[in-house]
Structure 1
Amino acid sequence: MKDKNLDYSSIIGLILILFVLIIFTYINNNNDNNFSTKLDFNHKKLFEKEKIFFTDKRKKNDFFLLENNVLKIKISSIGGVIHDVFLKKYKAYDPLSFFHTNNLHLIKNSNFLYKLSFLNQKKLKFDTNTLYFNLFSLEKNKISGITTLIIRAKNPYGNGKGYLDYIYTIGEKNQYDIGFSIKSRNFYSKFNKGFYLNLDHKLFPLEKDRDWENSYTQVYYSYKNNLNNDIKYLSEKKTEDKNIYRVNWIAHKQQFFSFILIPEKILKNVFVKSENFSSGDILKRIQFKTFINTENNEGFYLSFRFYFGPLDLNLLKQYQNGFENIIPFGWGFLKWINKYFFLIIFEFLEKTNLNYGIIIILMTVVVKLILSPIAYKQYKLSATMKLIRPEIEKLNEKYKENILKKQRAIMELYHNVGINPMSGCISTLFQIPIFYSLFKFFPTIINLRGKSFLWVEDLTSYDSILKLPFFIPFYGNHVSLLTLLYSFALLIYTKLSNNGKQDFYKKENDYSIPDMNFLLYLMPIIMLFFINSYASALSLYYFTSNIINIGFFFFIKEFMLDEKKIFMKIQEKRIIKHNYWKNIIKKIENKKYKNPTE
């Protein structure tokens, strides 16, 4: 049985890549969170409509401002809550201008509400969101530069006695976190010991591709597990709720920004719910509830920190609480590849202050140079295999009735010429983690967010040269030029690397083995559909990578590999082996001649 015109290393590599793409798609479309969702009934019930028996009749809503170099925060007098958080150094995507030109508000128009809920013995409930807070003090420490705002609400049931203070603090420089403390005095003597802290956060889209951003929006949390602090998350795709114990912090993460609640003391029991919205103005609604037990009715004091800021790895590391782990660089060793290989190269090239599209191109060149020894060995293997194919064809013909002998003969031929056919598969396996890591790298690098290159508006989102009036499954409703260029370059490279192999095979009517050569040419079409909606930086990287591959192909072929010399070496090894066995036979014959009785 004759082998067909097929590069088995390429086919195996293609199958492995297709397998990775299938797994990648499955992971992104299914909830890979295996946590238990057993709920505490009392906590869950408190999210339903609640009876409020006190309402402040004041209608005027005053606002208090806190500001530093990066944040501008507006606090409402009604309820004392944060009404608006404006990030000065970032912009939100504007669908009218197709660029990031809108002011970026992480909190706006009461999409972020929190309150204390007190219950009396008759189960009637009073919420602090009905209180009116007056300015008590606003001071700035000249030494530390910290501004402290204290707003105070009177106890509506204390006959003028008792109060509740909300205390906000902000640093004067580039701090994205603020302090939030709650202090009371004779505030809830008529209520049961303890109260509920409730938070309701609606997350709005900030990026170009709402669906893509939604897939990166989810709840992360850190909890104390024995002596260690573990970090887990809720599903990014499905509505999910969960009871969490011994909580260190909770993060409401979007694609590039996050709110993080950091309590001063560990929260013993927290109920959190994440509700997903596939359409509309809301990406997700996250609800949070925990019970705070107090021993002294005369007063209590709680302290938190709120982080409103970007998902910048170096910035989050400074907090030393594991916040950097909410950046989805991938799982397992893929995260290490992104953090300690690609990110280091990217940050080094970023210092050149070049356009970020140029930086990605330079990054591709650097990575290809680092991996060039593997590319050289792979091409050398391919060239050697091409030269010995006539010999393999002869062995196939000679041992066509005995498959075992044929395999032994072929393996002996490989050994004689000094090649290992499996090394091509090993090289492909080595490059698959790099291939997959980039899918997680480019959509999570905030430095690329909103950066343009040529016709590309945002390198962290897809580029579109044509909007389609219909939706194509797996492809989308737009045409990405960079994806087209990448697929075309991949097709050319596939054609070049596979060209000429048929010269060593006879064209006979043997249909016992199907010609699978078409699989090699199927890959560009698959990638065209698969990454059309991915970050344009990824398409730019792969397009550049294939242009370099084509250049490597001609450079290695013309200047680094001499196929005639390789063929001569093959003949020399064959002659050496032939002479070796000839000498062995001659020695045996001479021995028998000297000892005829044996």
Structure 2
Amino acid sequence: MLWQNQPTPEELAAEKAKQEQVEAKEKANEAKKKKDTFETTASDYSNTSAADSLKLLSLKNKLGAFAYASTLPSATDNVTTVENGVLTLKFSNKGGYLSEVKLNEFVDYDSVPIYLINNKNTAFNLSFATTDNRNLNTQDLYFQPTVTKNGENTVVSMKLKVSESEFLEYRYEILPNNYMMNFTIRSQGLNNVINTSQDVNLDWKLKTKRHDQSISYENRYTRLTYQHDNKNKIDKLAQAGEDEETETDVNWLSYRQHFFSTILVADKPIKSARLISKDLVQNEDIDTVYTKQFQSKFALQTQAGEINESLKLYFGPTDSKILKQYNEDLEESIPFGWGIFGWINKALFIPLFSFLSSYMSYGIAIIVMTILIKIVLSFVQYKQFLSQAKMRVLKPELDAIRAKYKDNKLKAQQETMALQNKAGASPLSGCLPGLMQIPVFYALFMFFPTAFALRQKKFLWADDLSSYDVVANLPFNIPFYGDHVSLFPILAAVAIFFYMKMTTGDQMASQPTQEGMPDMSKIMKVMIYFSPILMLVFFNQYASGLSLYYFISNLISIGIMLVIKNYILDEDKIHAQIQVNKAKPKKQNRFQKKMAEMMEQAEQQKQAQQKRKK
């Protein structure tokens, strides 16, 4: 019966066509319904369902005119992703801010991609009052994203809408293969919505994520740095603990991590900014993820009731070469040292190292630079050893003076100074050249830990010249030393020990003990052992490139010292020259005359006191 009554092919085709028409009509109605829903404005919601009307009423009561933004399809927690070659950026619909920034060309010490920003470590919020007496925060509101092109640049527009033509916009213009982007905060048609008689405040927080092998070492170079006072001053918040400052006329502020920075640059100086820093590393064994928490708060400038703030955002390496390209003095955020020390680094060591490393490996470049520096400073060592040799030659005569005037210490000092002046020998003549090395020493101490070029560069057994080398891991942690053994600090400590052993022996032989003065020989003996131990412990956590420099530097110093003592200086000739100098009439400079007069007056006062006692 079923077979006999089955529909004919023509009937099946007609039924199928009818079904398709029904389905097409349903789809068209559904699409129309969605379109009508998407295009519905706050004023149209009187025609929607009762549930939607109640929802809109609740939103209006809570958000006022900004309730419209929550009715749009973009009112979800979606993100918009954009790449420019060096950065991968994600923008959150909720809040309209950059919720993730990945550096495409870098990884951390554990080969994990570097994210300067992720959704867990940042907050970017505008807080403002409305004309209907509401206080709102953009971090709670939904922005509508659009991505367009402006030539080769990619423009991401995040709009917080009151209507289709009235909105608050975050506009990001992203340049190809560039770590800097243009960032504009502007409003359109909101002069009757936002109450600009009260401040529109920007609050930007960032917890800096660990990227280095040692979190405490990275934390030492992680600081909030800023330029202010009409581009005349660079200041920093405290390196440790909590710190807070309110500064005026701020041009830029940098959330600097050791080798990476997040920087906000203002086209017009920020009138007043509150800057906050909090150290998050209290215990290195427990606090292993974040180093510091930074926060900046400042009011946006308004004109005719509208916001129009032009800024720039930088997410990238703390590399002086890259930062210098932007002509904003951003490279000044790198701690090269203050005053002359920073000048030496910027004018000499950075260009020199850059030149050398372009022709050879970074480890060899450190060695070659060290050799060049020691050759230039070899005259300082010569002056020191010459002074020591002169003092050794004069020692018998100085001892005779002290023996002759053993009961008159003041007279002994006068005669000692007179002899040294005639002979052209003075302990200060050996100290002053040594002081010339301090700026170089400190400049290099600041250069190696901050040299971005050394990051993750291998040399011999060191995997990273910007971090400590490891030849053995310890099953326990030694206070101040760490849980590992670094070889470069050991080599540097051994070299320092032998160098000091050789030099302090000569100094002790040439520096007789002065009456009433501390015994310098004992102090020098202690320093022979204390300095290498300090190097061994302190530099176990420091950049291996710095320890390599000290090792090579002290080896070269030992070599220079042996050459000067054995092949250049002749104590017999020095003695003969001293005798010639003593025979010549010697004029005293004003300082020497003043010292002689003071000592003479002191001697006269002493004699007068002795007469009164008698």
1:314-353 correspondence runs (5 A): 314-352=321-359
Amino acid at match of 1:548: I
Deviations 1:559-582 (A, max 9, x none): 2222333334445666x579xxxx
In structure 2, relative to structure 1, the CA distance for the partners of 1:355 and 1:125 (3 Å cut) is same
Return the alpha-carbon distance in structure 1 between the equivalents of residues 462 and 397 of structure 2. 51
Deviation of 1:502 after TM superposition, in Å, equals: 7.6
- Look up the match of 1:560: 568
Deviations 1:116-168 (A, max 9, x none): 22323675332223333344341141xxx22223343432xx5x663333321
Name which of structure 1's ranges 254-263 and 400-409 shifts more when overlaid on structure 2. Answer: 400-409
- Look up the match of 2:368: 362
Deviation of 1:283 after TM superposition, in Å, equals: 1.5
Return the alpha-carbon distance in structure 2 between the equivalents of residues 331 and 506 of structure 1. 38
Amino acid at match of 2:87: L
Equivalent pair of 2:143/2:158 in contact (CA under 8 Å): yes
Q: Does 1:306 align with 2:313?
A: yes
- Look up the match of 2:218: 213
Return the alpha-carbon distance in structure 1 between the equivalents of residues 242 and 518 of structure 2. 51
1:74-473 correspondence runs (5 A): 74-94=90-110, 101-120=111-130, 123-141=133-151, 145-155=152-162, 158=163, 162-173=166-177, 175-187=178-190, 189-193=192-196, 195-224=200-229, 229-278=232-281, 279-292=287-300, 294=302, 296=304, 300-352=307-359, 354-473=360-479
Deviations 1:34-90 (A, max 9, x none): xxxxxxxxxxxxxxxxx9767959785433333334222222233222122222332
Equivalent pair of 2:225/2:254 in contact (CA under 8 Å): yes
Deviation of 1:108 after TM superposition, in Å, equals: 2.0
In structure 2, relative to structure 1, the CA distance for the partners of 1:153 and 1:502 (3 Å cut) is closer
Equivalent pair of 2:76/2:142 in contact (CA under 8 Å): no
Return the alpha-carbon distance in structure 2 between the equivalents of residues 239 and 473 of structure 1. 24
Equivalent pair of 1:464/1:481 in contact (CA under 8 Å): yes
Higher relative contact order (CA 8 A, sep 6+): 1
- Percent of paired sites with the same residue: 37
> Matched residue of 1:413: which SS?
helix
Deviation of 1:255 after TM superposition, in Å, equals: 1.2
Deviation of 1:293 after TM superposition, in Å, equals: 5.1
In structure 2, relative to structure 1, the CA distance for the partners of 1:559 and 1:126 (3 Å cut) is same
Equivalent pair of 2:388/2:506 in contact (CA under 8 Å): no
Equivalent pair of 1:246/1:269 in contact (CA under 8 Å): yes
Structure exhibiting the larger radius of gyration computed from Cα positions: 2
> Matched residue of 1:386: which SS?
helix
**Which has more helix, going by share of residues?**
2
Large movers: runs of 4+ above 6 Å: 500-507
Amino acid at match of 1:530: F
Name which of structure 1's ranges 496-505 and 177-186 shifts more when overlaid on structure 2. Answer: 496-505
Return the alpha-carbon distance in structure 2 between the equivalents of residues 486 and 475 of structure 1. 16
Name which of structure 1's ranges 374-383 and 272-281 shifts more when overlaid on structure 2. Answer: 272-281
Return the alpha-carbon distance in structure 2 between the equivalents of residues 328 and 425 of structure 1. 29
Deviations 1:200-228 (A, max 9, x none): 21211111111121122222222335xx6
Amino acid at match of 1:111: N
Deviation of 1:104 after TM superposition, in Å, equals: 1.7
Return the alpha-carbon distance in structure 2 between the equivalents of residues 326 and 137 of structure 1. 33
Equivalent pair of 2:75/2:143 in contact (CA under 8 Å): no
> Matched residue of 1:265: which SS?
strand
Equivalent pair of 1:52/1:126 in contact (CA under 8 Å): no
In structure 2, relative to structure 1, the CA distance for the partners of 1:545 and 1:183 (3 Å cut) is same
Return the alpha-carbon distance in structure 2 between the equivalents of residues 339 and 503 of structure 1. 41
1:525-540 correspondence runs (5 A): 525-540=533-548
Deviation of 1:368 after TM superposition, in Å, equals: 0.5
TM-score normalised over the length of structure 2: 0.75
Deviation of 1:317 after TM superposition, in Å, equals: 2.5
> Matched residue of 1:406: which SS?
helix
Equivalent pair of 1:52/1:127 in contact (CA under 8 Å): no
Return the alpha-carbon distance in structure 2 between the equivalents of residues 546 and 462 of structure 1. 19
Amino acid at match of 1:460: S
Deviation of 1:545 after TM superposition, in Å, equals: 0.9
Instruction: Could you tell me which runs of 5 or more consecutive residues in structure 2 were left unpaired when the two chains were aligned.
Output: 1-60, 282-286, 586-614
> Matched residue of 1:132: which SS?
coil
TM-score normalised over the length of structure 1: 0.77
Return the alpha-carbon distance in structure 1 between the equivalents of residues 520 and 559 of structure 2. 32
Q: How many residues align?
A: 508
Amino acid at match of 1:180: F
Amino acid at match of 2:214: D
In structure 2, relative to structure 1, the CA distance for the partners of 1:254 and 1:560 (3 Å cut) is same
> Matched residue of 2:501: which SS?
helix
Deviation of 1:425 after TM superposition, in Å, equals: 1.1
In structure 2, relative to structure 1, the CA distance for the partners of 1:165 and 1:408 (3 Å cut) is closer
> Matched residue of 2:416: which SS?
helix
Instruction: Could you tell me which runs of 5 or more consecutive residues in structure 1 were left unpaired when the two chains were aligned.
Output: 1-50, 95-100, 579-598
Amino acid at match of 1:267: I
Return the alpha-carbon distance in structure 1 between the equivalents of residues 253 and 233 of structure 2. 12
Equivalent pair of 1:202/1:286 in contact (CA under 8 Å): yes
In structure 2, relative to structure 1, the CA distance for the partners of 1:349 and 1:61 (3 Å cut) is same
Please report the RMSD computed on the Cα atoms of aligned residues, expressed in angstroms.
3.2
Equivalent pair of 2:457/2:465 in contact (CA under 8 Å): yes
Deviations 1:362-401 (A, max 9, x none): 1111110111111111112222322332333333333323
Return the alpha-carbon distance in structure 2 between the equivalents of residues 84 and 419 of structure 1. 67
Equivalent pair of 1:61/1:77 in contact (CA under 8 Å): yes
Equivalent pair of 2:508/2:521 in contact (CA under 8 Å): no
In structure 2, relative to structure 1, the CA distance for the partners of 1:244 and 1:396 (3 Å cut) is closer
Return the alpha-carbon distance in structure 1 between the equivalents of residues 168 and 256 of structure 2. 30
